[in-house]
Amino acid sequence: MDSKNLRPLTHKEKAVLDFIELFFTENTISPSFIEIKNHFGFASNNSVQRYLKQLQTKGYIFVPKGNQKRAITILHSANTLHQNFVSTTPKPKSFASTGSVHPPKVTEPCSLPLLGKIAAGQPIESLEHNESVDVPFNFVMEPEKSYALKVEGDSMINEGIHSGDVIIVQDTHYAQNGDIVVAVIESEATLKKYYFHNDKNLIELRPSHPTMEPMWHHPSKVNIRGVLKNLIRKY
């Protein structure tokens, strides 16, 4: 939807959108329904769904069907058109306190290298440059340090990552426990949750699937190539 055709926001709709933008700015991912619910003190996720539906209907966000985790896409900032607001509402603390942090601005899509496929299952292939993919600008905090991969397999399905999704990865060789990482083992790449067990001196690459077992490797065998930051799903 063109910004000229955006519909006005109510106080609460703008507050919800402000929070989503602030959360994305600070965490590089969109908030979950539970995080939105807890922030505003809503009684249930139904209230969250109602506000997200209103924001989507008015053209400010896009939420894929099925309510996948962290799948909110910002199409227009809450401050795109000041004249659209019914009235002003206080900005989230980080915006108001410093005056130096602003919501991500929506511009032209960002083009990232698509480095082939990544296995959400057993490792399948090494990473090789193949083509590029256009992604929403606000999906990428550091384009020069980011790339995209297409997911194959469903071992991360409980994290809302499905076969066929395109993931946005920040290039890094370091990870913290709990990060979803791109790991290369003997020239084969896989997407798993990372845990280093100091007592065993082993790295656990853990799937998010009830029927799949973790993979264990000596640190010398695991090459971290990036940390998951976002994903794109096509229907």
Supply the CATH number for residue 23's domain: 1.10.10.10
44 & 130 share domain: no
Supply the CATH number for residue 154's domain: 2.10.109.10
The yes-or-no answer on residue 155 being catalytic is: yes
225 & 135 share domain: yes
80 & 143 share domain: no
The residue segments making up the domain with residue 115 are 110-232
Taking the C-alpha atoms of residue 60 and residue 80, their distance in angstroms, rounded to an integer, is: 9
128 & 87 share domain: no
The yes-or-no answer on residue 192 being catalytic is: yes
Query: pTM score, two decimals?
Result: 0.53
The residue from 14, 192, 193, 229 that is catalytic is 192
For the stretch 163-200, pLDDT in tens is 889 899 988 888 889 999 999 888 788 999 999 998 88
The residue from 155, 193, 208, 229 that is catalytic is 155
Please report whether residue 104 resides in a domain. Answer: no
For the stretch 199-211, pLDDT in tens is 889 999 999 998 9
Q: What total number of domains does the chain contain?
A: 2
Please report whether residue 105 resides in a domain. Answer: no
Taking the C-alpha atoms of residue 82 and residue 75, their distance in angstroms, rounded to an integer, is: 16
229 neighbors 28 (Cβ within 8 angstroms): yes
